[in-house]
Amino acid sequence: MDPKVNGQLQHDWSWLVAVYLFLGGVGGGAYTIAAINSFMGDGLGLSTTIGVWISFPALLIGSMFLIADLGSPFRAVLAGMKPGTSWIARGTWIISIFMVLSFLHLVLLQFTDVAASAGGKTMIDIISLVGAVFAIGTMAYTGILLGASKGIPFWRSGVVPLVFVVSATVTGHFAIMLGIALFGGNGATAALFKPMAVEGIGLVVLEILAILFFLQAAFRQPDPRESAERILRKRMFVIGYFILGLFAPVIIMAIVYGAGSGAGVTGIITVGAILGLLGGLILRQSVLICGALPTLNIAGFQFRRIHRPKEPKPDIGLMPPQ
């Protein structure tokens, strides 16, 4: 029985949602890395500036993809209703507050006199701490939203938010590295190459462990096992995500750490960062398109639930698969 024919795969959330989840993760991850580096000395100041510059635009563009998927800006406004009972509404508020904080941080950085003063620095530090909390909330929400979808067992796992948080941090880190390589200038970036490369290796190794744990947990349960097998049969996931999106950046970051500021390092960093970013997008797209409705086993016979597309209710906005 072909699940593509009988409609077992979910079709409510398309590539537009995948891009939204990806850009939201990049924005949250870049801000988190920027906030952490801001407390680690002036030597990483450039990474903080670039991370803040990446965060707000990524969130803004990602929100546009979400609105495009909803089909109407009015539905996006309605998505924030009922935060007491809806994860979609809670996430809308978390992301909205985070966007305000990241924008305020970005504006304050433009006023160098204010940022250099004692009061301005204290204000930026406070915004960084609070913003980092909402950034982590934004990264986790993208996974919690999938986990709240009762009809897709593959998504209904407590490991999904962990995977998305780690992956978002990794993509945010690579986005900062790409920004440094493209706009930092040779003299300013040389001192950042080694510490950022070490951070990158550690984060990617953590993501590898998280995704392996997620797949192992899916294989141990009968309902999500089919989706886990499906995702591992996809070349896009195995080659695009695992090989090019994870292992290749680790090797490239190791080369960068060994080479320091030698010739061609900027180009190598650019390639590694782009591969890491593409890997994060492929991960989200793969998890979405491999989300399958459960197979029911009754008296030795297998029955597949049939997907029936639903129209979003006017008072909810975005409706997850049921």
Question: What confidence tens digit (pLDDT) does each residue in 240-273 have?
Answer: 999 999 999 999 999 888 876 655 778 888 999 9
C-alpha 272 chain-centroid distance: 17
- The answer as to whether 55 is a domain residue is yes
184 is written with which tokens? 């930092």
Question: Tens of pLDDT along 182-195?
Answer: 877 655 566 677 88
Nearest 5 degrees, angle CA 268-CA 278-CA 245?
70
Give residue 154's pLDDT.
Answer: 85
Q: Of 8, 21, 2, 62, whose CA–CA distance to 168 is shortest?
A: 21
Give residue 30's pLDDT.
Answer: 94
Q: Tell me how many domains the chain contains.
A: 1
- The answer as to whether 35 is a domain residue is yes
- The answer as to whether 211 is a domain residue is yes
Range of the domain at 86: 3-304
3-state secondary structure string, 226-253?
HHHHHHHCCHHHHHHHHHHHHHHHHHHH
- The answer as to whether 312 is a domain residue is no
Q: Return d(Cα 276, Cα 73) in angstroms, integer.
A: 31
> For residue 312, with 0-12 CB atoms within 10 Å meaning exposed, 13-18 middle and 19 or more buried, which class applies?
middle
- The answer as to whether 155 is a domain residue is yes
Which residues does the chain have with pLDDT short of 50?
1-7, 298-303, 306-322
Give residue 311's pLDDT.
Answer: 47
Q: Which helix (H) or strand (E) holds 303?
A: strand 301-304
Q: Return d(Cα 113, Cα 83) in angstroms, integer.
A: 40
What is this structure's pTM?
0.81
Bin 86: left if φ > 0, else alpha if -120 < ψ < 50, else beta: beta
- The answer as to whether 319 is a domain residue is no
Q: Of 201, 162, 214, 173, whose CA–CA distance to 55 is shortest?
A: 173
49 is written with which tokens? 């500036």
Give residue 41's pLDDT.
Answer: 66
- The answer as to whether 318 is a domain residue is no
Largest CA distance in the chain: 74
292 is written with which tokens? 């399958």
Give residue 5's pLDDT.
Answer: 37
295 is written with which tokens? 């197979």
What are the helix (H) ranges across 111-158?
A: 112-116, 118-147
- The answer as to whether 283 is a domain residue is yes
CATH number at residue 280: 1.20.1630.10
Q: 113-145 as b/e, with b when 16 or more CB fall inside 10 Å? A: eeeeeeebeebbeebbeebbbbbbbbbbbbbbb
Q: Return d(Cα 322, Cα 317) in angstroms, integer.
A: 15
